Amino acid sequence: MPAPYRRPSPSEKERALPKAELHRHLEGCVSVPTIIRLAARHGTKLPSSDPAELEKLTRLKSPMGSLDEVLAMFSVAQAAFASYEAVEEITWEALETAFRGENIRLLELRFSPDFMLGGKDLDWRKSLDIINSVIKRYEAAHPFVGGVIIIASRGLGAASAERTAGFAIENRKKIIGFDLAEGEKAFPARLCAPLAAKLRDAGVPLTVHSGEEGEYSQVIDTLDLLGPRRIGHGVKAAEDRTGRAMEMIRLAGVTVETNPWSNYLTRAVETPQAHPLKKFLDAGLKCSISADDPEILDTDLNREYALALGPLGLSKDDLDYCRRCAVEGSFLDPDRRQQAAREMGF
């Protein structure tokens, strides 16, 4: 077995940098102590209640053996959202970790209601209201701005995606955007086109998980058929030797929400050095850096920045450009974006 990859430790400077995060799943923000605490409160059964053992079952520390392994980790985190109080506590902790631990000043949190609340007696709208009220409370007390993106998990099927888009449109004043996540191969862009058109007509900004796995042609189809303002991951675009996929991203003015460590752990790239972020930047693409699922993927933005400046080969200017792209590409309203830009020193 190859030795585990040793990531560079973030420096104090990297930790202290004010940050903006566009791609973070709430379901991937539940820490092991929180899983244990909430399971005890709700009487939920855990695969283990020993913290060290549970950590092994819920945190991916090296490239995944199989997708099932990761899905099992998500299902433990998902079970933690067992009550409205749990939704509130997990959201608050996600904000605390982001602000205090990573100095994040702008945070877009996303969740998939059908996945996160599936099998539970919890109302989607009430849960969304709770998440928003936590963000508002946090904003009032800290130099921080945030908002919610609603996800349709393509893996849950067409009816689920339809219902989720309908929910997003009905609640469009309470959300900042919409995301199509996972299952891109089985549920390709052409099947999502009517849904993307509906969201566009309703004025809901769209981001799409695209080119995380599979072929670069998926990224081309996403841009052509769905017209998103941003894409998540996009790594496969770099495999188009003609450069067309990257050029299309550039011409569309689309921001790529990159997730370097996530891509290494899910084997989208073979090594961190092979991640195309630097290539994207050199080709003139707008890119942000994000952590995806910090608890499950054992990462955060401090570590992502250290990775970017180390093995990924970004310069300090490149990193600053990515920080700026995150603020400029945010779906938050201009006032909030301005506030974040000031706090980030732009």
CB of 21 to Zn ion, least distance (A): 12
Sign of the Cα torsion 274, 275, 280, 281 reads negative
Site string for Zn ion, 240-279 (x = CB under 5 A): ----------------------------------------
Least distance CB 209 / Zn ion (angstroms): 6
Nearest distance from C-beta of residue 232 to Zn ion, angstroms: 5
Q: Which two tokens stand for residue 319?
A: 């990193």
Q: In this complex, which beta carbon is closest to Zn ion, that of residue 292 or of residue 300? A: 292
Count of residues engaged in binding Zn ion, rule: CB under 5 A = 1
Q: How far apart are CA 274 and CA 255, in angstroms?
A: 20
How far is the CA of 158 from the CAs of 81, 114, 153, in angstroms?
24, 12, 9
Residue 119: Cβ-neighbour burial (10 angstroms; 0-12, 13-18, 19+): exposed
Q: Which of 26, 195 has the CB closer to Zn ion?
A: 26
- Tell me the CB-side half-sphere exposure of residue 66, using CA atoms within 13 A: 3
104-111 and 19-25 strand pairing: parallel
Shortest reach from residue 1's CB to Zn ion, in Å: 28
Cβ proximity to Zn ion: between 42 and 59 the closer is 59
**What's the min distance (Å) between Cβ of 293 and Zn ion?**
7
Is the CB of 292 or the CB of 295 nearer to Zn ion? 292
- Calculate the CA 139 to chain-centre distance: 20
Query: Angle between the 124-141 and 84-96 helix axes, to the nearest 10 degrees?
Result: 30
Shortest separation between residue 110's beta carbon and Zn ion, angstroms = 8
> Of the two residues 108 and 292, which places its CB atom closer to Zn ion in the complex?
292
The rounded distance, in Å, linking the Cα atoms of 105 and 168 is: 25
Which residue lies nearer to Zn ion by CB, 268 or 332?
Answer: 268
If the CB atoms of residues 25 and 105 are measured against Zn ion, the closer one turns out to be 25
Residue nearest to Zn ion (CB): 292
CB of 25 to Zn ion, least distance (A): 6
Q: Smallest distance, Å, CB 131 to Zn ion?
A: 17
State in angstroms the smallest separation of the CB of 28 from Zn ion. 8
- Annotate each residue in 273-302 with x if it binds Zn ion (CB under 5 A) or - if it does not, as one string: -------------------x----------
The single-letter code of the amino acid at 232 is G
Query: Quick one: 184 or 221, whose CB is closer to Zn ion?
Result: 184
Closest CB to Zn ion among 184 and 292?
Answer: 292
Residues that bind Zn ion (CB under 5 A): 292
